[in-house]
Chain A
Amino acid sequence: MAKKPVGPQMILANCLREGRALFFGRDGAWHAEPALADVAEGDGLDALMAKARAFADANNVIDPVFIPAEQKDDHYYPAHIKHVMQAKGPSVRPDLGYQVSPDWERR
């Protein structure tokens, strides 16, 4: 059995149509902004993943996985640089990706 992740976790997945990274939100929807992500740890993880999977299937979101989260100010953000990168967009192209705006794709 896979080891349960330790510490606060959020759920990251990709949008089927565009491939963009999405976070499972406290409102049960998928968001480009990590600050809206729901966070759980320990015994709460299974329930969060079950909820996310149900919403993933319904919303064409693929491969939901736990990623470590850390708290900054009032919100949680991805802790690992890889997921920070996914949340923002490529560091070498600040003109591209969610760092421009959450709905950058649609502009």
Chain B
Amino acid sequence: MYAYDPYDKEIVNTRVEEFRDQVNRRLSGELTEEEFRPLRLMNGLYLQLHAYMLRVAIPYGTLSSVQMRRLALIARKYDKGYGHFTTRQNIQYNWPKLVDTPDILLDLADVEMHAIQTSGNCIRNVTTDQFSGATADEIADPRPYAELIRQWSTFHPEFSFLPRKFKIAITGAPSDRAAVKWHDIGLVVRKNDAGDIGFEVLVGGGMGRTPVIAKTIRDFIPEADLLGYLEAILRVYNEQGRRDNKYKARIKILVEALGSDTFADLVEKEWQTTRHHPIDVPEAEIKRIEAFFAPPPLEVLPEQDPAVDELAANNFLFHAFLKNNVRPHKVPGHVNVTISLKPHGGIPGDATDAQMDLVADLADTYSLGEIRVSHEQNLILPHVARRDLPELYEALSRSGLGTANVGLISDIIACPGLDYCALANARSIPIAQNLAKRFDDITRLQDIGELKVKISGCINSCGHHHAGHIGILGVDRKGEEVYQLLLGGSGAEDASKAQILGPGFDENGIVDAVETVVAVYLGERQDGEKFLETYRRIGADPFKEAVYEAH
């Protein structure tokens, strides 16, 4: 894992003290709210429905056990004993007091964390595959590049006031688990014919009120040119992106308006002009960063373990856990374990301080002290020996963390919605809870198979409903919460935009409608077909007929 150098430490600590001064000046009345608001937002501090909300960056979703314990401590000491892991691999605290926030930031800085650039029109936390560095299907671990981008983009003076916020995602594997095509810039690690590492560059993806899937503007940019090329993209966007209308200010609107070929030409031109003055990252610095992400020192172990097999044969829930939450590691005899933060009836993405502490302890015991956060709002222990699974499962289950539903219909992404969020039109969480309760039976869940449900409480789409196999969008119809049903989206390498099926439903109707959709799928699916495959084969009509006939 990356460790701060003295420079990182200094800028983060300086920012904490600067913010402490700003908070004091606000509390004394020296700063007005208008003056203070942009300053608090630059430090990730929002004002939501019930309280302030602090969004803390988890760079590329990687945490050490020490950091996780600190997140637990903050939840306990300054908040209400829990935190919410988000679709951007961050954590949000829902109840911090303004007066405490400088101390929270100091506690975070102490473990090399911060809340900088988690708000505002700047380059936000870079996100990536939660299995990076621990999966056999990747070409290269994307985290050293994500870290390089983090360093380049943090406090980048030219890109601190972009037309709108800017999100970069990177994957090192052809299986896209980071939804790169839904980002302002998506990077896919590629190897060229000569065997050199580089990146396919996609631009202009995004959700919100205008969902767009990113387009490739360069098939291969060599590793050494990555930052220069990113800078060229950002510069073109910064100069030409619209600032007159915030709904048209994201890069996706610019790319659509110009056409991706023209946009690519502009970037190329900009890059050719500046590449003679490249952003020289010293070789030593690259090596220094890479060293932090060296492959974990894991011993090769047998692929099978008799104790695991025996428990799986005798314990149905462990069998399901093995099937759904566990996947192979690149080192034989090891696995990645996904800890579901979607207990049936629970709040997607929420974890208590005690659960965070437990995950930290389990990471120390079983996963070299490392934890990941996925954009699907789950936690991952990336480096677990297969033989340790029975013990690990037992410990997780005892604490409500053993739900064996990863990738299944109850593993729902849901944004905070109207229960917390000041921008929301409708609640998301109760819909997720009711759906999970409706599909509570693990046998039924497994029979349905992979099915990604994603729920947003407003068109800002933090719950990724556009990319849901089943997407749900909460809207406000004359003060009533109404839910639109969308089908056929994907956030993976086969990215697609979900389409609205028809008129919306109330809180109960939407759960019934999803059940009808599932029934149509089960009736129509052919051998081994997943929900999305069936939907793509038969189209929306059979679903539409069944759903609206029933209402």
Which chain A residues have a beta carbon within 8 Å of chain B's beta carbons?
Answer: 14, 16-21, 60, 62-63, 79-82, 85-86, 89-93, 96-97
User: Are A90 and B50 interface neighbours, CB within 8 A?
Assistant: yes
Closest Cβ–Cβ distance, residue A11 to chain B (whole Å): 16
In the bound complex, do residue A92 and residue B429 qualify as a contact, i.e. CB atoms below 8 Å apart? Answer: yes
Contact yes or no, B27 A81, CB < 8 A:
no
B80 touches A92 (CB 8 A): no
**For residue B98, which residue of chain A has the nearest CB?**
A17
Which residues of chain A have C-beta atoms less than 8 A from B430's C-beta?
A: 91-92
Given A16-B27, A20-B51, A85-B418, do A96 and B98 touch, yes or no (CB 8 Å)? no
A90 neighbours in B (Cβ, 8 Å): 50, 419-420
The A-contacting residues of B in range 402-457, CB under 8 angstroms, are: 418-420, 424, 427, 429-430, 433
Q: Which residues of B contact A85 (CB under 8 A)?
A: 49, 418-419
Chain B residues within 8 Å of A18, by CB = 51-52, 97-98
A-B contact pairs, 21 of them (CB 8 A): A16-B33, A17-B27, A17-B98, A17-B99, A18-B97, A18-B98, A19-B48, A20-B51, A21-B50, A60-B29, A62-B47, A63-B33, A80-B479, A82-B424, A89-B50, A90-B419, A90-B420, A92-B427, A92-B430, A93-B419, A97-B50
B189 nearest CB across to chain A (Å): 39
Tell me the minimal C-beta distance from A37 to chain B in angstroms: 17
| B 532-547 binary contact with A (CB < 8 Å = 1; else 0) | 0000000000000000
**Complex Cα–Cα for A16 and B424 (A):** 22
Complex Cα–Cα for A82 and B424 (A): 8
Once the chains bind, are B49 and A21 in contact (CB under 8 Å)? yes
In the complex, the chain B residue whose C-beta lies closest to that of A95 is: B80
Q: Which of B33, B99, B419, B429 contacts A62 (CB 8 A)?
A: B33
Cβ contacts B101-133/A at 8 Å (1 or 0 each): 000000000000000000000000000000000
Known interface pairs A79-B479, A80-B479; A19-B26 also in contact (CB < 8 Å) = no
Q: What's the least CB distance linking B265 to chain A, in Å?
A: 44
A89 proximity list for chain B (CB < 8 A):
50
